[in-house]
Amino acid sequence: MTTRTSSASRQDTRPVATSSSSWIPLLAVVIGLAAAIIILPAWMPNITASLLGADAKFYWYLSRATAFVGYGLLWLSMSMGIMITNKMARVWPGGPTAAALHQHTSLLGLGFGLVHGLLLIGDQYINFNLAQVLTPFSTASYLPQWVGLGQLAFYTWAVVVFSYYIRNQIGCKTWRSIHFASYLVFALTLLHGIFSGTDTGKIWVTGMYWFSGSMILFLTFYRILYSINKARQAAQPE
């Protein structure tokens, strides 16, 4: 037999979160953390050493991983941006998709670039502090000139990204001039990655730099030819 219950009586049957039941998840987290702290070092000494030991490599690994993700996003954003201007995006992946990718990958890549830099503070070998990470060419303990190019790239990239959001205030002409600095961002990041990275010698990393670099070069070349052609057509009498 089914009986209809009013919303009031349904509410009455709902489990009431008592003060003791709301402590249970918290207690579980505390017990879990305590167990991890006690058990993990004995169970998985390598992982513990990587996270907390005197020779902790966790931050360094994560910094390198986020560096490559950031670089990939920068490359994708640049490719989409140039393909919008030289109209290749109409063929693939379509104008609106290219525009959305261009905008979002740029923001995301900037975030990854920042996380990549900040993570290095946790690496005891490289021994950077926050001020060094944020100040270009100040990392005396590790390749300051090449790390500096990455820091410059980061700040220039931030200016390019945020100028988009104030383009109505600064005007289209100024915004476009600032936007051209994205070529500099890519060049600086490429040099930074090649000359300060530990992984440059690996075949897949070398291949990635060659592929991404030559693709941006090709797209830029095509963009210049497209602009010249368009200007010629505009100059021709009807």
Footprint of ligand HEM (CB under 6 A): 64, 67-68, 70-71, 74, 109, 112-113, 116-117, 120, 126, 133, 142, 147, 150-151, 153-154, 189, 192-193, 196-200, 205
Residue whose CB is less far from ligand HEM, 89 or 147: 147
Q: Which is nearer to ligand HEM, 39 or 140 (CB)?
A: 140
Cβ-contact 67, 118 below 8 angstroms: no
Minimum CB separation from ligand HEM for residue 174, in Å? 24
Give min distance, CB of 92 to ligand HEM, in A. 25
d(CA 35, CA 52) in angstroms, rounded, equals 16
202 vs 230, beta carbon nearer ligand HEM: 202
Q: Which is nearer to ligand HEM, 81 or 197 (CB)?
A: 197
User: Least distance in Å: CB of 221 to ligand HEM?
Assistant: 23
**Is 88 or 150 the residue whose CB approaches ligand HEM more closely?**
150
Cβ–Cβ under 8 Å, residues 67 and 193: yes
Shortest Cβ distance from residue 217 to ligand HEM (Å)? 18
